[in-house]
Structures are given as structure tokens and as C-alpha cells.
Amino acid sequence: MQQSLNPWVTSAGPDHTPEEAPETYLPPAAVISAPLRGMVEPDAADRLAQRTMSGTAPVWITGTHGGAGESRIAGLLDGARATDHCWPVLQEGSQPRVLLVCRADMRGLTAARSALTQWASGAAPEVDLLGLAILADAPGKTPKALRDFATIVGGGAPRLWPLPWVEAWRHGDTSTPSPARDYQRFITDITALTHDTTPRTIH
């Protein structure tokens, strides 16, 4: 499958000789690491609110819509705190590290796109956005149309983590370990990104 240019970025990188398309689905890497000049902010109704948070956390988990899984993800990461679907603003003025979370259905991906557009346009509070985690919304393989849309949406985040369905969680069994390969890699990535606990001051 030939990868297309990231639609969030208007300029292309250097040309490369095309290679044989891989057999498996491989979404292109996300490349946006900071807000982009000229990005149009979303309508006010589509923006996440902001909330002043007390205390500290190595990472703040922000669900882009109800049922996104922010509490579930916060429970997986040591010290993480959920923000109740709001951009966190810290009382001491430091720059919070934020992970956006959504479900892999059309509603969730559309909400994530709006949140990323808000951040990329500079309309969100100043945060250190780590990336976007997309949680499967149902067991089984995600339909191709949603996979393709997730690739486009994820291209607007610094990093993208697609996470599979966990059947035990559906029944309220939080004691069952998450799938080792995907979730453990995700936890390792976030832990590494938040290892430096020095607060970042907004200038």
C-alpha cells in the first residue's frame, strides 16, 4: 500500500525512489510536533474547553469526547491524571504534558481531528502534546475506511498509538492485563517521554 503525503503538512520532503508496497497495513508516521502557522482553528462548538488543574502529573490524559477511554488510559500509566475532556492549565504556570485519547469510530476520530486542529492552530492552551492514542471501539478488525481516516487524523499529532480492543474491560474486569505487545509498548513509550519530570515553564 503506497503511503500518501500527510495532509496536515503542505510541503513535501525530498523525493525518494518508490519501493515495493508492503503486504501489511502500515500507517505513515506522524510528523507534526508543534502548532502550525496559518492553520485555521475549528469552530467554537468543536473546541475542547480548558480547565485549571491543581497538583501535578507526569502526563495528563485528555479524552476528545465522552467515552474516549481517558480514565482507562490514565489507570494504565503511573501517576497519570484524567482531565475530564478539557485541556489542562496548571496553576503554577508550567507546561503540562498531554496525551489525547479517542475511540476508533467516526465520532471519536472526528472529535480527535477537531482537538488536533485546535492545538495545531494555536487555539488551545500551551501544552506539550505527546500524541494521540486511538482505542478500538469494538472487537475484531477495524474497517478499512476507519483505518484510513485514523491515519489522516493521526498525521496531525506528534505521535500516534493505535490500541486494540480488550474484551475483559467491556465487562468491567480491570484486573485482566492489557495485551502485552501493543499496550506494553505504548506504556513504555509514554514512560520514556515523561521520564524527565522537570516542569516546563510557559514563556
Q: What is the pLDDT of residues 101-154, one digit of tens each?
A: 999 999 999 999 999 999 999 999 999 999 999 999 999 999 999 999 999 999
Q: Which amino acid is at 26?
A: L
Q: Is residue 155 part of a domain?
A: yes
Q: Is residue 165 part of a domain?
A: yes
Q: Is residue 139 part of a domain?
A: yes
Confidence of residue 191 (pLDDT cuts 50, 70, 90): very high
Q: What is the mean pLDDT of the chain?
A: 82
pLDDT: which is higher, 174 or 9: 174
Calculate Rg over the CA atoms of the chain. 17
Question: How does pLDDT run across 19-59, given as a tens digit for each residue?
Answer: 444 444 444 445 676 676 666 777 777 889 999 999 999 99
Q: Is residue 8 part of a domain?
A: no
Q: Is residue 102 part of a domain?
A: yes
The total number of structural domains in the chain stands at: 1
Question: How does pLDDT run across 62-113, given as a tens digit for each residue?
Answer: 999 999 999 999 999 999 999 999 999 998 888 999 999 999 999 999 999 9
Residue 137 maps to which CATH number?
Answer: 3.40.50
Q: Is residue 30 part of a domain?
A: no
Domain membership of residue 58 as a residue range: 49-194
Cell 502500515, located at residue: 26
Task: Report whether 17 contacts 42 (CB < 8 A).
Answer: no
Q: Is residue 21 part of a domain?
A: no
Q: Is residue 61 part of a domain?
A: yes
Say how far apart CA 151 and CA 158 lie, in whole Å. 13
